[in-house]
Structure 1
Amino acid sequence: MSLLDTLPTQSDDPLRAQAIATLREVGLPNKKTEAWRFTSVKAIVDRALPPAPVGLTAPHSDVVRFVGGHPVLPTAPRSNGVSLARVAQPSGFDVGEAFAALNTALFSDALVVTAKGVAERPLFVDHEASADTAAYARLRIVLEANAELVLVERYRGQSALSDSVVEVELGENAKLVHLRTHEDEGALLGTVSVRQARHSRYVSHALSFFGAPTRLDLRVRLEGEGAECSLDGIALVEGQTHSDHHVRVDHVAPRTTSHMRHRAVVSDRATSVFDGQAHVLPGAAGCEAHQHSRNLLLSEQATVHTKPHLEIHVDEVVASHGATVGALDADALFYLRARGISKRDAQTLLTYAFLQELVDAIAHPALRTAMRDALLSQLPGGELVRSLEDEALDFVEDHASEEEGA
């Protein structure tokens, strides 16, 4: 028995039927699949995990909840033209990957969020599930012209597998800020697919904590002139766990801009993978594409695979990419120890300082504080960092690691 054995034999919906047929023909990825050669999903696909059943769950007043992959809408009305609806059919978005197809075949109801104005407060979406089940959450975000929204997704619980798909469509001059945190004890296989119109902006902050294997496939298509995306990712990996971020940006229209930044802290025998691709297509002149991957190894057994790369088909482009891998700076550790700070606290200070730039990039003050607190709760001695002034942390940040180009 395997995960494919949970597929229905057929479906009356054409897109679901196509997904089922594709999965039965091609199967799920393995170590021979190029995009998955550093990430094994054998332990997941070899189990026939049943989709979580639809349960009776009381709605929260102001938070959308996915319980076992099934949406539960809040009771409080939304303001500023933000509407929520459940739909049973897939949208037809080309999300591409095998686990996105598995989600298409098995999700029950999708949540559609439509924004027509500037939302006053963030929309929180909590994903919760129980053990020994698979959760297939489907979320579609549509921002009409000039709309703005902050979306916060939080993956929590003990599900054996969470296979989620988020589809984003941004109208002209729209802006979406998208925060994702993974605190689930089970595996998370997430697909985010974004399409952007003229002068729209997509800002992503993805945070993966210690404890569970994760794979995020983030695809952005800059289809309108002047569209921008900023894609930040943080991975904290320990034990024998695994974090894999695959990011692809297609510059379809001219004068579009993309920024990718990924930082990983890897300890014990854990593994971090980052694959960042920027494709500047013919006709997309005047684009900017930047990629930077920085990785901090806290043990000799930790492993990092990092590959930022560019594919450019026009001449008029501003582009940069780079990757570094290093350990904590020995001189900085000595400096802190000489001032009475314990080894554990000194390591925590330097580790947080290594990540601080991406935390500070979160523009929303309350969410920035929440992200900082979430990170510090995962680091030993995090209370010390909370007690320090920003100026002290800025000094530590400048001396956090000894990095070498990858």
Structure 2
Amino acid sequence: MSGLRLYKTGGWIDGNDIYDPTGDVFGLLRIGRDGLYVNTEVGKTAVSNQAVSELQPEPCNHHIVSSKQCLDVDLWHRRLGHVNIYQVSQTAKITRGMFCDSHHNHEPFNYCLACDIAKALRWTPRNKRKRALRAGFIHVDTFKVNPPGIRGERWGMITTDDRHRMRWAYTFTRKGMASELLGQLISKIQTQYGIQVYAIQMDGGSELYGASLKNLEYTHGVKIIKTTPYTPEFNGVAERSNRIIFDKVRATMESERIPIELWPLVLEDMVRKTNVTATRAIDGLTPMESFLNEALPGQDNKPDLSGERICGSQVTIHIPQERRLRSHKFGPRGEAGIYLCMEGSQIYTCWVPSRRKGHQIVRSANVKFYEKVRETELLTETEHDVEPEIRKNGAPISSRPQSVTEQTKTPSPQ
């Protein structure tokens, strides 16, 4: 019995029931243990339990099946391992025994829950996001850093203005300080630049949730936009800012051989330098100039880079008279250090490894730079000039400056 021939003559098969062109049931198909058996019914006369091999000369237990199995694409979709409709159709064309797709005008297979669960993919928006028309739309992202900074910083936060790509960075010791610092940034932008922050977009991290975040909405009238967790593409501006800043921090610390504990100060300096560097994102302007052109129009807002220095360069810092003993007439009037970041245009923050822990970060305006000196040559020469025979654990002092943790360790007794 051929289902295709039955279909062409006007009959059809519904489940295990066979219908003639008039709509009467005249046959029943069932699969027995010994093969395929056919029960036929013509009028009121029935012939049952006759093996297919007796009715037809060729065995067809794998070809004669119900139309639900032949014509239903859902079934073939599951039989072939949950393939797509094109594969079902193409397979029916180049194989035998599949009266499906290319032979009949059937409906596409229905929704398959198993496929959606097993083959779930990440959805990435393809449309280009529109930039804000004015300053005040801030993208925020927080991150955790190990090892902690020289002052115990374990967390950091970088905020980016959507319109001008102006950036601000904060480092802090506790996770819950992020919302408080975000409120300080909103007040700072409004007070210093006269720009009202109207929206903040952040990821689904828990460090920015809580009562302090709700207070921002009520106090400042800021709209809080939270993206779903583990979808960084929805907060692309903040993620891109992180990559730009982190790449600069890593490259600078590697090039100038800066100890890892000083990352908070290097991060601060890289954010400041990024704000005064031209970018294609705002038509070749610097973020600082573009931001100030909106905040303070009609003024010359071009950044002045005459005082810019290499982060990690060697410096000598003048020791004020108030910190020198008057009796030490022949003592040094300066100390060697490493420049890390700058405040304003004349205040430099430096690291002096010769000082005791807790007092190694020095802010001074009386600084002399040695930018062409590499690999801590100045520090090494200064140490050998003062105490040429100094040793640590029986070995000479390395030319690379010791990290903060290394300096606090005492030599083990021999």
Relative to its length, the structure with more strand (as a share) is 1
Relative to its length, the structure with more helix (as a share) is 2
Q: TM-score range, shorter-chain basis?
A: under 0.3
TM-score when scaled to structure 1? 0.22
Structure label with greater radius of gyration: 2
